[in-house]
Structure formats: structure tokens, C-alpha cells
Amino acid sequence: MAKRRRGQNNNQNQRQGQGKGQQKQQSRRPGESAAQRFWGDPAAKRAEPTPIRPTPDPGALVRSLGNPPLSPAAAHQLAVVYEEAVRAATALAAANGLLDASELE
């Protein structure tokens, strides 16, 4: 009996999914792969990226949400993690020439 129910549910799911699959296929362009749909056309001209300015206060957004429901030392430990994330992002931006030059002066 349980197997029959599962089979019935699967058939219903398949019937419901058929309409969704047809919609997806209609929006695809011929010869376009999933990677091309996700990443875009490599030949398309893109706008220049804007320079990146590191934030002076990495934990501001999280602090605005209130104290974390953890131990009292958790806020400090999380602040250390946020600062390290900003350092890593700043290093990546600098390595790729995306760092705002006005911040260096």
C-alpha cells in the first residue's frame, strides 16, 4: 500500500513538473549551455567594474542587529572574523587592480 502511494505521489509530481520543464525549455536559446546561461556570453561587452573601497568598520551591519545570542566573548570573536574577511577581500581587490586608489593616499 505504501509503495502505491509513493508511486501516485511521484506521478503527480511528474505531471506538475511537466509544465515547469516546458517553460524552461521555451526560454532557452538554441545551442546555449547551462554554463552560458549562468555566466553570460563571454563575447558580450561588459561595463568596467567600479573601484572597491574597504569598509572602515567591518562589523557595523552585524552590530546593528544586536548582540549575538552567544557568550559575551562572541561579539569580539565575530569582529575578528569580519576584520579578517575585509582584509582578504581587500587583498583580492588589490591583486586584481580593483582597489580604489584614493584609499591608498
Domain assignments of the chain as residue spans, ordered by start: 2-26+50-103
Q: What is the mean pLDDT of the chain?
A: 78
* Structural contact between residues 58 and 85, judged by C-beta atoms closer than 8 angstroms: yes
In this prediction, residue 22 has a pLDDT band, given cuts at 50, 70 and 90, of: very low
Does pLDDT of 88 surpass 90?
A: yes
Render pLDDT for 36-51 as a digit per residue (tens, 0 to 9).
Answer: 888 888 888 888 889 9
Q: What is the pLDDT of residue 83?
A: 95
CA-nearest of 85, 59, 87 to 74 is 59
Q: Between these two residues, 94 and 104, which has the higher pLDDT value?
A: 94
Q: What is the pLDDT of residue 45?
A: 85
Secondary structure class of 60 (helix, strand, coil): helix
Q: Round to the nearest angstrom and report the end-to-end CA distance of the chain.
A: 75
**Whole-model pTM over 0.75:** no
In this prediction, residue 98 has a pLDDT band, given cuts at 50, 70 and 90, of: very high
